[in-house]
Structure 1
Amino acid sequence: MANIKSQEKRILTNEKSRLANKSFKSSVKTAIKKALIAKKTDSSDKTKLINEAVSLVDKGVSKGIFKANKAAREKSRLMSA
């Protein structure tokens, strides 16, 4: 454990952001899976699901959770239908 008070605070904030990022990544993965399944089954709401997934991926890039290349790769996978 850290001896410096500011470092102890930093450890706490890092843990909070790690958990928030983990939750966000999980929701993005779920949205991508739903969109890919809808794409394969020719569901009627597939464009809506794809748009939601793309929006979440873009939000992750703007928050600094994902890198730009990962976002481009995921969006390309989703749009390739």
Structure 2
Amino acid sequence: MANIASQKKRILRAERERLENRRYTSTIKTYFRRLEVSAAGDDAAAADADHTQLVSLIDKAVKRGALHKNTGSRKKARAARVRAGQPS
């Protein structure tokens, strides 16, 4: 570990930020699996609700910096294909 106080603080802050980003990405994966299940089950209302939640979460992650803008767009496009019933 670093000897300089500001670097010690920076290391701790980077770890907190890493965990926050990881929470976003993990939750996005969970919601995506949920969307796949509801879309496969032919439950249109549930699929729409799951899709809305997923897109909202992706937008928040992009705004927060946990995901790159293009990655967020790619994930939203993939989610739209799943919701429409097309294979990804």
TM-score, length basis structure 2: 0.85
TM-score, length basis structure 1: 0.91
Map of 1:55 onto structure 2: 56
CA positional deviation for 1:19: 1.3
> Greater relative contact order (Cα 8 A, min sep 6): structure 1 or 2?
2
Moved over 2 A (4+): none
Identity of aligned residues (%): 37
Map of 1:35 onto structure 2: 35
Count matched residues. Answer: 81
Deviations 1:10-68 (A, max 9, x none): 00111111112112211111011101221122113110000000110111000001011
Q: Match for 2:11: what amino acid?
A: I
Q: CA RMSD in A?
A: 1.1
- List gaps (5 residues or longer) in structure 1: none
- List gaps (5 residues or longer) in structure 2: none
